Structure 1
């Protein structure tokens, strides 16, 4: 067992380095998709040769970013604790956890100008199934309108997130203001009863300037 420890530590180190490169790529390429990989390496704090050992070609890095976005979405779904509270409360928490993933998701979509559904969502994932179950629970507990089907709720979620992400770049709005508008609009669309009242109860007003 003791002999395996160095190997396990090396594996953990490689995993940390790989994650650091991917996070740096999200930051750098999210701002400028044509940025050279040397800038990604610098942002990750590694040599250009180190980056090439993990991702020999630019296409290898871009392909890995798809998987990275998938992993981030799984982690965000776990943080949202979607099994807790009412269906609509869980839906709001999930959207709030997805919101900070803008750059990673936009890169995975392949274009910041196209709000179409990303290719990597074609196959139903673990977090897709969790979202569908969340919506069905909202139907059962009476907090989400039964006319809002799970797949339609998913489309609404992505459309609202995309609008919020672009809102911060096309209007003088802070990320907090964009997130608040996104959550408020989502609740008004999916909830049962008085949409405005439900939204006001779940989403705080943005701070006054």
Structure 2
């Protein structure tokens, strides 16, 4: 690949990322924002946005795929197979907490969660469920809590923490601390 093509690919990737990031931020605040508003937030022209995402649905598909990819990376960084389950859950929550922008958008625009990729159980879902089940076997998580219930509680706690930051100006570290403290008490055997 020539140097010019590689540079163009790098510029295209950065532009695409800038559009996605601007779309996530803009749509979280204003779910019905126009493509023009997203272009303005990304500091690009509207035609540039349409070059990357011809239709709004293409942009939403890309956001959805990006969110799943981010969850995958966060799950991998959490190293859930290392060490005791409570410590692994803390690492996982810390990693998920950093996804607040895109996850808030998913909760703000629930039609994103109805896309086919969100209807299937992912490997990341299975990783979390296995972690919960391991904790139950080891006695660090209440075995009376079904793993799927616990999974939903974890996402609900994350949402509440993100909401505290966004809507109540709670410092991020305080919101995360509250999330982790509540999680610790919720899972106790």
Q: What residue number does 1:43 align with?
A: 41
The aligned residue for residue 71 of structure 1 is 69
Judge conservation of contact 2:28–2:108 (CA < 8 Å) in 1: no
Q: 1:10 to 1:178 in 2, by over 3 A?
A: same
Equivalent-residue separation in structure 2 for 1:148 and 1:169 (angstroms): 30
Q: TM-score, normalised by structure 1?
A: 0.77
Q: Is 2:102 the partner of 1:134? A: no
SS of structure 1 residue aligned to 2:99: helix
Secondary structure of 2:98's counterpart equals helix
Q: Which residue of structure 1 lines up, in the alignment, with residue 146 of structure 2? A: 149
Q: Which residue of 1 aligns with 2:163?
A: 166
Unaligned runs of 5+ in 2: none
Alpha-carbon shift at residue 10 of structure 1 (Å): 4.1
In structure 1, runs of 5+ residues without a counterpart are 193-209
Q: Which has the higher contact order (CA 8 A, sep 6+)?
A: 2
Task: Tell me which protein shows more helix as a share of its residues.
Answer: 2
Q: What's the TM-score, normalizing by structure 2?
A: 0.84
Match of 1:204 in 2: none
C-alpha distance in 1, partners of 2:160/2:99?
14
**Contact 1:88–1:191 (CA under 8 A) maintained in structure 2:** no
Q: Which residue of 1 aligns with 2:20?
A: 22
**RMSD of aligned alpha carbons:** 2.6
Question: Residues 1-209 of structure 1 correspond to what in structure 2 (within 5 A)?
Answer: 3=1, 7=5, 10-111=8-109, 118-119=113-114, 120-171=117-168, 173-192=170-189
> What secondary structure does 2:83 align onto?
coil
